[in-house]
Structure 1
Amino acid sequence: MNAALQERVPLPQAEQCRHLASALTLTQQMLRLADAGEWARVTELESQRREDLAACFSVTTLATDSELIAEAIAALLYLNEELMSRLKEARDQVMEQGREHAKRRRAAESYGIVDLSSS
């Protein structure tokens, strides 16, 4: 942000915008990481994002900024829905893998195979 704009924008308002922009950026990163299957890193970024959102909404929004804030929130909600969709897909895959593993275990047990650690 340039110096002239910083002088006109009250610090709490500037901080609010910074936190909201950070939350949007983190959400985009989380979405890319989810696509790569890096769920541990997604979880780490979620903590940071939660802090940014809490800080963002700890101050009152000026009426002049409400449209900008609303647009940013709409983008954040859209990205969050995409992220939740990826999470659901990953959860479904893990559940299916668990079912397949249990099925293989039952089949192996019925044939008297004891050690399944290599499957």
Structure 2
Amino acid sequence: MIRLTLTLSSVYLAAVGLALLFVPLQFGVGAVPTDASTELIALLRLLGGPFLGIAVLNWLSRGVPAVSLQKVLIANAVGFGVVALNDVWGVATGEARELAKLFLGVHLGFTLAFLMSLRISARVSLA
């Protein structure tokens, strides 16, 4: 469960990071104007870097014993949890683009998967 969660989140975060770096207008469809300023495009590209960094961290953490992963799992649960809450707010208020409904499911799924992985790692550390 933990390895799968880290693997899937790594692939997802790498895709988001690469999309922000290389196709920010297409990735931001419905949220980023087609005539976006160069400064906005630069900001979106800047955000791609941390996504790639976390993707690499998750990928490299796949082989680490569960008991040693708690900090990585907590950080991911917090990150995905905050993003999921933002999605809930945007969907509930109508402020988010239509695509946010899909992302809400993805982000909530990752949040739950990381929380379950944390529970597993806690059980392993108690054993």
**Shorter-chain TM-score category?**
0.3 to 0.5
Q: TM-score, normalised by structure 1?
A: 0.40
Question: Which protein is bigger by CA-based radius of gyration?
Answer: 1
